Chains A and B, each alone.
Chain A
């Protein structure tokens, strides 16, 4: 589903973010990427989203090279990928409902679909009663659940979660991971980056470990080892 072929990224100041990275992610996998800050996790994710170009190598989404696409095609790919971030990245002036509706509008879905799907997906993350609240009226865990609802509402093929639990307490962390597992069980590929040892160890899924821009370990049922 996603295939990195000898990808390197060297920034303008000659710092090496990634060096000859190759791996592939199969449909319906739950892959965790671990590594210290600055190891290259975020660069890796930005390349999957075609936000950054590799200095060398290619990144494939299914069989297309994502860095060889036109603007519109990149947008089409992004709509098939749901993203979740540590800082939630909700639109502050929109309610929970509107935040999710925005993603559907951007994908060109009809008003009827939006009316039907948004309450449904909010129920899924257990926030049906906070539909009309603004982000600043919600707790961190609630905001992250809104972000997840937004990520899944267009039924993406992949969910990319970049340190989604970094700002959350253990109970909220546990709940978020449970939701991600549920999404994965329903057939969506999940790519998770995290620093949280407990999360990785309890998941018992594939773990890729990055250090200094290289993949130093890739285990099928991995543990957090750094």
Chain B
């Protein structure tokens, strides 16, 4: 009996969807707009995350060593720094490497290169570039390094300079920007999601309001509440699936054509391979995006229908 009923409920859901074509069309259109908003929010968050982490990646604290510091001293400090939980990465640039980089950077500047050759030894010092997980954590790392330098113990004497204070204003401002864009983005997302839910819920409610007479007839012939409600929930799910698929399809050309326009840099999203465009991101994460957009459509449609029918089911 359970399977017979399930089969009947699904079949009559499809029949209702099809034969109420105009109502279905209108509801699917409203739902498409809603799911488009949900999808755009998703992309917007991806873009924001990408650009914030790009910005974050540009910031670091540089530790310059005396030219006579031994490599062991530098490497032992590197090990110490790496043992901190807030440190995400420590890059070691040896004196030789620094010289190579310098030459490479000035390869068109013959005068500078000549001046460099006049010097009998390498004037550049070894550098550690320290990156933390959060920009707000730079201060404690910088303090740790300054303390070490002041005490001169445990390799601290080898430190020539820590450039945190010079960068402090920029880092602070960046921290603020990141924090406030996170908050404002969350608020925007929440407001838009709430608006979308309200719009969809009321659309579905209207489409069921049209059927309230039918519901009373179904009750009169003795149909159980579950049997009455089932087809409406199926119709809600269908709205969600179809609207979800339509908005997913709309995103295809949209990310392809307009993805590069959203930000000055068309290449900004990184994965393990390298940089990605928004379109490539869409293709690579198609499964996830599909689940989010179509899934929210299905859940929204089903819950809206379920709630909207309830008020007509009282005996």
Give residues 83-116 of A contacting B (CB, 8 Å).
Answer: 83, 89-94, 98, 102-103, 105-108, 110-111
Evaluate contact between B218 and A93: CB separation under 8 angstroms: no
**Chain B positions within 8 Å of A83 at CB level:** 220-221
Pairwise interchain contact A75-B222, C-beta atoms closer than 8 A: yes
A89 to B218, CA, bound (A): 10
Which B residues between 217 and 257 are near A, CB-CB below 8 angstroms? 217-225, 227
The answer to whether B223 and A71 have CB atoms under 8 Å apart is no
Q: How many residues of A contact B (CB 8 A)?
A: 27
Q: Which of B1, B224, B227, B315 has the most CB of A within 10 A?
A: B315
Which residue of the partner chain, among A50, A92, A110, A150, contacts B221 with CB atoms under 8 Å? Answer: A150
0/1 interface trace, chain B 1-24, chain A, CB 8 Å (1 if under):
100110010001001100110000
Tell me, yes or no, whether A20 is within 8 Å of chain B by CB: no
Q: Which of B16, B216, B227, B315 contacts A106 (CB 8 A)?
A: B227
Chain A residue with Cβ nearest B213: A89
A83 to B218 alpha-carbon distance, docked (Å): 11
Whether the pair A102, B218 counts as a contact (CB closer than 8 A) is yes
Residues in A with CB closer than 8 Å to B154 are none
Chain B residues 179 to 230 lying within 8 A of chain A, measured CB to CB, are: 213-214, 216-225, 227
Q: A147: shortest Cβ distance to chain B, in Å? A: 10
CB-nearest residue of chain B to A50: B315
Q: How does the 8 Å CB contact mask read for B164-191 relative to A, with 1 for contact and 0 for none?
A: 0000000000000000000000000000
Please give the distance in Å from A96's CB to the nearest CB on chain B.
Answer: 14
| Any B CB within 8 A of the CB of A201 | no
A89: chain B residues within 8 A (beta carbon) = 213, 216-217, 220
Interface status of A203 (Cβ within 8 A of chain B): no
Q: Using Cβ atoms and an 8 Å threshold, which residues of chain A touch B19?
A: 93
Q: Using a CB-CB cutoff of 8 Å, which residues 5-47 of chain B contact chain A?
A: 5, 8, 12, 15-16, 19-20
Q: Is the CB of B224 within 8 A of A72?
A: yes
Q: Closest Cβ of chain B: how far from A30's Cβ, in Å? A: 21
Closest to A114 in B: B8
Known contacts: A71-B315, A78-B222, A106-B221. The answer to whether A92 contacts B8 by CB under 8 A is: no
A51 pairs with B221, CB closer than 8 A? no
Within 8 Å of chain B (Cβ to Cβ): is A74? yes
User: Judging by beta carbons under 8 Å apart, are B315 and A93 in contact?
Assistant: no
B247 to chain A, nearest CB (A): 27
- Give the CA-CA distance A76 to B20 in the complex, in Å: 30
Contact with B along A63-86 (1 / 0, CB 8 A): 000000001101110110001000
Assess the B4–A92 pair: CB atoms within 8 A. no
Our count of residue pairs bridging A and B at CB distance below 8 angstroms stands at 57
| Known contacts A50-B315, A93-B20, A106-B227, A78 near B1 by CB under 8 Å | no
Chain A residues with CB under 8 Å of B221's CB are: 78-79, 83, 102-103, 106-107, 150
Interface size class of B (residues with CB under 8 A): 20 to 34
In-complex Cβ contact of B1 among A72, A79, A98, A108 (8 A):
A108
**Contact assessment for B217 and A49 in the assembled complex, using a CB-CB cutoff below 8 Å:** no
CA distance A71 to B313 in the complex (A): 11
B217 and A75 form a contact (CB under 8 A): no
Question: Interface digits, B251-284 against A, CB 8 Å rule (1 contact, 0 not)?
Answer: 0000000000000000000000000000000000
Task: State the CA gap A94–B16 with chains docked (Å).
Answer: 9
Q: Are B222 and A110 in contact (CB under 8 A)?
A: no
B228 to chain A, nearest CB (A): 8
Q: Which residue of B lies closest to A147 (CB)?
A: B217
Residue on B nearest A156 in the bound complex, by CB: B222
Q: Which residues of A contact B12 (CB under 8 A)?
A: 102
- Residue of A at shortest CB range from B17? A93
Q: Which residues of A contact B227 (CB under 8 A)?
A: 105-106
List A contacts of B315 (CB < 8 A): 50-51, 71, 74
Complex-state Cα separation, A71 to B8, whole angstroms:
22
A49 CA to B12 CA, complexed, in Å: 26
CB-CB under 8 A from A78, the residues of chain B are 219-222
Assembly CA distance A165 to B217 (angstroms): 19
Residues from chain B with Cβ under 8 Å of A75 in the complex: 222-224
10 extra interchain contacts, Cβ-Cβ under 8 A, other than A83-B221, A102-B223, A106-B224? A49-B220, A72-B224, A93-B15, A93-B19, A93-B20, A103-B222, A105-B8, A107-B221, A108-B5, A150-B221
Q: List 20 A-B contacts (CB under 8 A).
A: A51-B315, A71-B225, A75-B223, A75-B224, A76-B222, A78-B222, A83-B220, A89-B213, A89-B217, A92-B214, A93-B19, A93-B20, A94-B15, A98-B15, A102-B223, A105-B8, A106-B218, A106-B222, A107-B222, A110-B4
Closest 6 pairs between A and B when the two form their complex, measured CB to CB: A106-B223, A79-B222, A78-B222, A93-B19, A103-B221, A89-B217
